[in-house]
Amino acid sequence: MHGFHLSDADHRLLRGAPPEAALQWAAAAVGTGAHVRSVTPLEGGTSSAVHALVVEDGAGARQELILRRFVRAKWRAEEPDVPRREAAVLEVLRASAVPAPRLVAVDPEGTCADVPAVLMTRLPGRIDWSPADLPTYLRRLAAPLPLIHAMPVPSEAPIPPYAPYALDLHRAPRWSSRPEVWSRAIEVLEGPAPTHGDAFIHRDYHPGNVLWVDGQVSGVVDWPCGSIGVPEADVGHCRMNLNGRFGAEAADRFLELYQALTGRTVYHPYWDIVAAIGGMDETIDDHPDPTDERFVAAAVARL
């Protein structure tokens, strides 16, 4: 789940020690005389290499930072502006009530840090995929979304409009027992997206990007996909992840909680479908998942 089980090659790419150039860049961003005291790879991510740094400045004070390096060449080729986007998103969030990291530095071309990189502050807390009190967890998980979606975004900020991940596979997975469901879902995804009023969205909101301290949300992290789009895109993405971990009842309860907080009572099944099959390619054939199929089927049934 979410990068905790990696191939050897991906483990080296994502969890291996950053090169000295990247560490020197991070230290220089803190100030003259700063140096990196420790480096710790963070578990969970699969799209970029993320390391926790402790950097000591010239006066001896220590700062806890996060270094994200965009090490996947395919992602850099497809979305070369992602480091600039995350930096812009973090700057927009700086003045908000959303508990998000603060930008320290960005190397958008990788001229100093070996690959494009973003350096940001580290927030307290840990990811929690096994809450002791699921109803309370769901309520608190829903609470940051209205804050995120209410964020004003300056017109000049380089934050792009939401776009669904492109489908590379236009058929049902080979293991599917209900290919007609997938065919209908693909048809929906290839059509126009519903419009319910655009806002600032996280674009990858789910429990793996939320930090907790003593049962309270302490931070929302992982912002490189921040976009301008329909808020329900965040809801659907989180519902899909909740369904996979806790079941359909938890996913439905999350939607109810979000709607109670916002008054946005229109929820189109499109947002479940795009979360479940957006970006689908042939690798899905090797990973049978009846839970995903039931999620897609439930969405199609509500069309």
For the chain, residues classed under CATH 3.30.200.20 are 8-121
The mean pLDDT of 130-148, rounded to a whole number, is 98
pLDDT tens for 221-273 read 999 999 999 999 999 999 999 999 999 999 999 999 999 999 999 999 999 99
What CATH number is given for 134-301 in this structure?
3.90.1200.10
CA–CA distances in Å: residue 145 to residues 15, 170, 261 = 30, 32, 9
What pLDDT score was predicted for residue 23?
Answer: 98
Q: Which of 257, 261, 195 is nearest to 232 (CA)?
A: 195
pLDDT tens for 86-112 read 999 999 999 899 999 999 999 999 999
Q: Which of 50, 214, 23 is nearest to 128 (CA)?
A: 214
- What's the chain's Rg over C-alpha atoms? 20
**Does position 1 have pLDDT exceeding 80, yes or no?**
no
For the chain, residues classed under CATH 3.90.1200.10 are 134-301
Sign of CA dihedral 65, 202, 277, 158: negative
Q: How confident is the model at residue 3 (pLDDT cuts 50, 70, 90)?
A: very low
CA–CA distances in Å: residue 159 to residues 9, 84, 92 = 32, 9, 10
What pLDDT score was predicted for residue 4?
Answer: 53
CA–CA distances in Å: residue 233 to residues 145, 148, 165, 191, 294 = 11, 12, 12, 16, 19
What pLDDT score was predicted for residue 231?
Answer: 97
Cα distance between residue 290 and residue 143, in whole Å: 30
Cα distance between residue 292 and residue 179, in whole Å: 13
**Does position 31 have pLDDT exceeding 80, yes or no?**
yes
Q: Which of 290, 181, 164 is nearest to 237 (CA)?
A: 164
CA 290 from centre of chain: 24
The mean pLDDT of 49-73, rounded to a whole number, is 95
Neighbours of 115 (CB within 10 A): 20
Cα distance between residue 276 and residue 237, in whole Å: 8
Q: Out of 1.10.3720.10, 3.50.50.60, 3.40.640.10, 3.30.200.20, which CATH number does the structure's domain 8-121 have? A: 3.30.200.20
Q: Which of 235, 200, 194, 250 is nearest to 91 (CA)?
A: 200
- The model's pTM: 0.94
The mean pLDDT of 139-161, rounded to a whole number, is 95
